[in-house]
Amino acid sequence: MTAQLWTGVDIGGTKIAAGTVDSAGRVLARAQRPTPEGETAIAQTVAALIEELNGSGDGSVVGIAVPGYVSTDHRSVLYAANLELQNTRLADLVESRVNINALVINDANAALWAEHRFGAARGEQNVAMVTVGTGIGGGLLVNGQLVVGQNGWAGEIGHMVVDPGGRACGCGSRGCLDRYASGSALEKEARTAEDFAQIAHWLGFGLSQVSMLLDPGLVLLGGGVSAAGEALAQPTRSRLAQLLAEHGRDTAPLVRTAALGPDAGFIGAAAYAADHASAAYAADHASAALGQGAMLATER
Ligand SMILES: [Zn+2]
């Protein structure tokens, strides 16, 4: 029996990273290229990276993480501001260039899935992840499933309003968490205890609202700022516990930093695509046995 290998791609604002991952989440090979402009050039670069790792493609699956909203069928990028992509049929564009089945996933959701399968959220079924970098992203795992919502933009923790009428946000609203707790809100790289105290103050508030809504067992801090580890996790943990106590909640979620680092995007995309494909395969075969195969086959 040969070990199963997966392929994942993570499209960032400046570079596209890709890797071959085994079913234990270990990275066996990696490749990266600068992010070009335009959907055609991006799809070409993704296809070239897949070929570099996987030859001409073998009919298997690839997961592609993007910093933006993704359609609920995981085929299209609805909107990705940094990449200037809008309603881009990215899965089609990649599949037309290389022999592989592509699945598109939001990058914070991909990171959350990687942590759930192999990292700091392993074994946890209810997780709120917040990624703090230049901006703030988020992902939600409820009863072991990623929550994408009706339109594909669930979990946008960065655009929860924490200060009504406050600082103007690029999204068009005011007072979004992103404007108070991100790297760009600090206008410098977070380094000092004071920086982390400011981030934790606002992050803890946003997470208390998420906790009142979803009651997660674990809050996971990811993104570049999470490299600070306990310097950020500790003040966030105490702020969150204090705010929940004010709501009469005497148990607060665990607060941990993510374990997988910058590879989490392509690891999670690869694993989610493989898990999604095997779930679809299992459902297809189960329904074929019931004589309903045609009905499910039209879902993709
Ligand atoms: Zn906003």
pTM: 0.90
pLDDT at residue 187 is higher than 60 = yes
Half-sphere CA count of 246, side-chain side, radius 13 A: 10
Please state, in angstroms and rounded to a whole number, the distance separating the CA atoms of residues 29 and 139.
27
Helix (H) or strand (E) holding 61: strand 61-66
Q: How far is the CA of 173 from the centre of ligand 1 (A)?
A: 5
pLDDT score of 285 more than 60: yes
Count of Cβ atoms closer than 10 Å to residue 65 Cβ: 33
Q: How far is the CA of 131 from the centre of ligand 1 (A)?
A: 15
Q: What's the 153 CA to ligand 1 centre distance in angstroms?
A: 13
Asked whether residue 79 carries a pLDDT value surpassing 60, the answer given is yes
Orientation angle between helical segments 193-214 and 230-246, nearest 10 degrees: 40
Query: What is the CA(179)–ligand 1 centre distance, in A?
Result: 7
Model confidence band, residue 110 (pLDDT cutoffs 50, 70, 90): very high
For position 295, what pLDDT does the model report?
47
Q: Torsion angle of alpha carbons 12, 191, 155, 76, nearest 10°? A: 0
134 confidence band (pLDDT: 50, 70, 90): confident
Whole-angstrom CA distances from 276 to 76, 152, 247 are 16, 16, 38
Q: Quote the ligand 1 centre to 234 CA distance (angstroms).
A: 26
Q: Taking ligand 1, which is a single-atom ion, which protein residues have CB atoms under 5 Å away?
A: 159, 169, 171, 173, 176
pLDDT beyond 60 at 125: yes
Span from the CA of 156 to the centroid of ligand 1 (angstroms): 9
